[in-house]
Structure 1
Amino acid sequence: MSRMMQAVEHVKIIRPFVPQSQLSALVDGCRSPEKDFFFAKLQEYAERIQAMPKTYEQDGKGDDALVSLHYFRGGSDFYITEKDTELDQNQAFGLSSLNGGEPELGYISIAELAACNVELDLHFEPRRVREVKGA
């Protein structure tokens, strides 16, 4: 499969998890001189999203739950630990901190985050909830 075809497959996987403007920038980057970076990011996040725990798979782990994705906008952060099992549902579970407030665990709508133009942190490395809380 060609590199571009692989990128198309990766985009299909990450589309529900990335705001449209950011996804467009990633795709455009695949045509730029920095294309190797953008192709690698598409692959990395497609693989990460596919491997993410589904809802309730980390139930009871508390601060030992793995955070797979980080979104941010302004002073607000959203750390995703689990995703829905349905592809067309973009609800997730994780930790939210609004405007620097106390972090809270709960359900998060990925679609609503995308609609509010949050940004998926492309430099985030998965870590435990305890590490996120300590940051």
Structure 2
Amino acid sequence: MATKALAPEISTWPDENPQLIGCRCGSCGATAFPVQDHCPRCSSAQMSELLLPRRGTVIAWTTQGFPPGAPYAGPTGKDFVPFGVGLVELGFGEDAVIRVEGRLTENDPAKLKFGQQVELTMIPFTTDADGNEIVTFAFQPV
């Protein structure tokens, strides 16, 4: 059995300290995640890859209490475990570069807070038909 990333093209996993891979527009400086062919702000094709900061701040959050709709490929039924979802601003203060929506390792609303500092990690997501463990990115409290 092997461990594979759900979307291997969006991060540097299996690096010891993985980072998400975004891009920056050479024309207007906009940052996007995941990598885009054209800038979402000015439509320029001058996009260059950018490794995003590992740490950031939760600026919005909710909990997902039921399995998402298609194309969700994770556990359902009795195997589904509610999870936290957050909008995380990566980087701090003037060094913040982008907001990324992702899973949170915490799913207890009493433990989730606006302004909470988090760090990128990889977590188990599901097992594929061949028995491989599939991991995805998430943000854990610092």
State the TM-score, normalizing by the size of structure 2: 0.23
Greater Cα radius of gyration, structure 1 or 2: 2
The answer to which structure has the higher helix fraction is 1
The answer to which structure has the higher strand fraction is 2
State the TM-score, normalizing by the size of structure 1: 0.24
